[in-house]
Amino acid sequence: MPKKAQLFLDKHFKIAKTDQRIYGSFIEHLGRAIYTGIFEPDHPQADTEGFREDVMALIKELEVPIVRYPGGNFVSGYNWEDSVGPVAKRPVRLELAWRSLETNEFGLNEFISWARKVGAAPMVAINLGTRGVDAARNIIEYTNHPGGSYWSDLRREHGYEKPHMIKTWCLGNEMDGPWQIGHKTAEEYGRLAAETAKAMRQVDPDIELVVCGSSSFQMPTFADWEATVLSHTYDYVDYISLHQYLGNRENNLANYLAETVQVDEFIKAVIAVCDYVKARKKSNKTIYLSFDEWNVWFHSNEQDKQIEPWTKAPRLLEDIYTFEDALVVGLFLITLLKHADRIRIACLAQLVNVIAPIMTSAGGGVRKQTIYYPYYHASKYGRGTVLRPEILSPVYDTDRYKKVNLVEAIGVLSEDEPEMTIFAVNRCQDSPIELECNLNNMGNFELIEHLVLEHDDMKAANTEEDPDRVKPHNQGRTLVKSNRVLAELPALSWNVVRLRLY
């Protein structure tokens, strides 16, 4: 007998309409993300600005709505002025976060231009490590003020007549982390972030600001950090950030697949702290979440220790993702969707070459990593109204997690088409699971397609030699009878069941 699970969805039981920015991503001045990643002027497929068109084509396919830039840890040593103006005059710097050489050939204006070309909104982080209020007020005058002042006129001199009008800004990066250049206590950072936010809003009141939360749920200061930082910044910011990377370090698949349970707890805890500060302040305002770094990151940790310092674009953080990583990324996406009412922005970290769904060869081609596919499916079919899932699933225990659902699933009702998509992961290692979906108050359905990502080898990866070893097929088995949908979820699989309503 196959195992069975049940999913109950009702069109009246909604979590929220998705903010499309939950399918955002991130490009840092790190390794080959920029140089030989998105920017390679002498590549045969480079456009007139040196941007790789083959890479842009995949980013457009992913429909990435927002890209965070320029870091990451990099931003805490960033002198934004180095990265604008005539390229020949830009300084080469020792970049301390990743101990690389930064040539500044690609800078702030190039990023904005690139982001516009790929159809993504820019999300720019400012340096609150080595710098502060002064540099922040200047960069926003440069990017967002129309003209007639020192910094805005400098932008015009640099060839950008119209202001960039960058809407979303991050107040530093991972300031709770001892590894951060200019690391601060929550009190120090909270005060600085509040004053910086006030100054930036004086220049442009229409911006949105993200204040730094914890770098992961394992941080010893987690939760106290959020409470203290928000107690200083609550009235001046819109979002608090979360960062989390997962990895199968112990080669224990059962534990690895359950790690997103902890991500779910992390999100709930951050919401609780936000609302605690809201209550303490008797505020009417709600702080939303920006999960602006999330992914799997562990494969490259050892090899990165061998990298020569002070070189340009070293091969840092080049994780080659396996099939099991794609399942975890799928589970992470379902977890984000479950909190669509509070998560407004999320950035898969990162986008190209550095812990990324897209890999390039310098002078050569481009390929899709395994994690590309769940990200692509969710971005393409996961926009609309997220329905509150009730799941009855068999469970499993690991040495670290108890009663983990073998099936995770979520349904998203499209706003544009009479369509609904169910995303589901089967965590079971030895058997398919028949998922019975009871879909209430939505009318009748017919199947458009059932996409499946599955593989016999959990460690299978897409390499330069074998770029299509792991890719989805559309032969998934789903039976639809009016409002009952029976989907067969193969053992260890990511599933996208696309339904048309009539």
Chain contacts with ligand AHR (rule: CB under 6 A): 28, 71-73, 173-174, 215, 293, 349-350
Annotate 466-495 with three-state secondary structure: CCCCCCCECCCCEEEECCEEEEEECCCEEE
Is the CB of 81 or the CB of 293 nearer to ligand AHR?
A: 293
CA–CA distance, 231 with 212 (Å, rounded to integer): 13
Minimum distance from residue 15 beta carbon to ligand AHR (Å): 28
Is the CB of 78 or the CB of 423 nearer to ligand AHR?
A: 78
Minimum distance from residue 116 beta carbon to ligand AHR (Å): 23
CA–CA distance, 45 with 48 (Å, rounded to integer): 10
Tell me if residue 174 is catalytic. Answer: yes
Q: H or E element: which one contains 110?
A: helix 108-118
Both tokens assigned to 182 = 């200019």
CA–CA distance, 144 with 162 (Å, rounded to integer): 9
Enter the DSSP assignment of 31. Answer: T
Is the CB of 358 or the CB of 451 nearer to ligand AHR?
A: 358
Categorise residue 441: left if φ over 0, alpha if ψ from -120 to 50, beta otherwise.
left
Is the CB of 98 or the CB of 323 nearer to ligand AHR?
A: 98
Tell me if residue 293 is catalytic. Answer: yes
Is the CB of 72 or the CB of 330 nearer to ligand AHR?
A: 72
Annotate 405-442 with three-state secondary structure: ECEEEEEEECCCCCEEEEEEEECCCCCCEEEEEEEECC
Minimum distance from residue 61 beta carbon to ligand AHR (Å): 22
Minimum distance from residue 78 beta carbon to ligand AHR (Å): 12
Whether 30 and 101 have beta carbons less than 8 Å apart is answered as no
Minimum distance from residue 29 beta carbon to ligand AHR (Å): 9
Q: H or E element: which one contains 235?
A: none
Is the CB of 267 or the CB of 437 nearer to ligand AHR?
A: 267
Nearest-Å Rg of the Cα atoms of the chain is 23
| Residue whose tokens read 């990162």 | 350
Q: Which residues make beta-bridge pairs with 445?
A: 501
Whether 74 and 129 have beta carbons less than 8 Å apart is answered as no
Minimum distance from residue 82 beta carbon to ligand AHR (Å): 18
Minimum distance from residue 74 beta carbon to ligand AHR (Å): 6
Q: H or E element: which one contains 295?
A: strand 288-296
List the catalytic residue out of 28, 81, 95, 174.
Answer: 174
Tell me the residue type at 486. L
| Residue whose tokens read 């206590």 | 185
Tell me the residue type at 337. L
Position closest to ligand AHR via CB: 72
Minimum distance from residue 181 beta carbon to ligand AHR (Å): 11
Phi, psi of 395 (to 5 degrees): -120, 170
List the catalytic residue out of 28, 81, 110, 293.
Answer: 293
Enter the DSSP assignment of 148. Answer: S
Enter the DSSP assignment of 164. Answer: -
CA–CA distance, 50 with 110 (Å, rounded to integer): 9
Is the CB of 303 or the CB of 429 nearer to ligand AHR?
A: 303
Both tokens assigned to 21 = 């920015």
Is the CB of 213 or the CB of 490 nearer to ligand AHR?
A: 213
Both tokens assigned to 27 = 């490009």
Q: Could you give the residue numbers annotated as active site?
A: 174, 293
